[in-house]
Amino acid sequence: MMFKNRIIFFVKAPQHSKVKTRLAAAIGQEKALNIYILLLKHSWKVLKNTAIEILVAYTPPGNLPLMQKLLGADCSYLPQKGDDIGSRMANAFQQVFENVTERSLLIGSDLPCLDEETITKAFDALANHEVVLGPSSDGGYYLIGFQKKSFTKNVFDEIAWSSSRVYNQTVSRIKELNLSLFVLPIMHDIDTLGDLKTYIGSEGNSPLKDSILSVMEGENL
């Protein structure tokens, strides 16, 4: 079956000492892994609730059984391929645009505030814009999307990945390529102890926040 709208869920397999390494340095590997799994499951639930077809692009390769155990076997999976995160994202987009998919979003897996409204707004933006981008508070971005006809791997060229310059450099590349851009509201992810404290101290309660607090029980935050 082919789909005009498709979501690429861009994830790391939840392996001990391989995820949330900056957070793990402050709270320990086990707690960091458990928090990552909670965030991943939260994002997955939000995406599933949109009823839009999802492609799970995972890394490292060879972890398909782990991903299927965590997210289920009733969706499509694709191992990420490329030398850096930019080439891996570009290759994932290229894969989905090989069929009749007309608009696609790529979304990360560590977003405690992700909701269906954000996904809907992003797809709606792609009706009139060639690229949509969701900036994160650390200078990166949590979401990027393209129309099929506007997609180019060049958006991912010459970006200082894993730095606070990623978002600004990406916007510059998009402008250089003369692509129309829609920018979503800033969203916070959880990469560091400071990010975790900010989220826990934010207004409102949720099952996710309660679960994270349970993981952190006994910690002085």
Phi-psi region of 61 (alpha: psi -120 to 50; beta: other; left: phi over 0): beta
pLDDT tens, residue by residue, 44-60: 999 999 999 999 999 99
Q: Pull the structure tokens for residue 44.
A: 């997955």
Gap between the Cα atoms of 159 and 127, Å rounded? 27
DSSP string, 149-214: GG--GGGGTT--TTSTTHHHHHHHHHHHTT--EEEPPPB----SHHHHHHHHTSSS--HHHHHHHH
Q: Model confidence over 146-198: pLDDT tens digits?
A: 999 999 999 999 999 999 999 999 999 999 999 999 999 999 889 999 999 99
Distance of CA 77 to the CA centre of its chain: 15
Q: Going by C-beta distance under 8 Å and a sequence separation of 6 or more, which residues neighbour residue 73?
A: none
Average pLDDT over residues 63-79: 94
If you average pLDDT over residues 106-132, what whole number do you get? 95
Write down the domain spans for the chain: 5-214
pLDDT of residue 3: 65
CA nearest 131: which of 113, 146, 118, 152?
A: 146
Q: Tell me the backbone φ, ψ of residue 59, rounded to 5 degrees.
A: -145, 150
User: CATH homologous superfamily for 5-214?
Assistant: Spore Coat Polysaccharide Biosynthesis Protein SpsA; Chain A (3.90.550.10)
What does the alpha-carbon distance between residue 214 and residue 90 come to, in Å, rounded to a whole number? 37
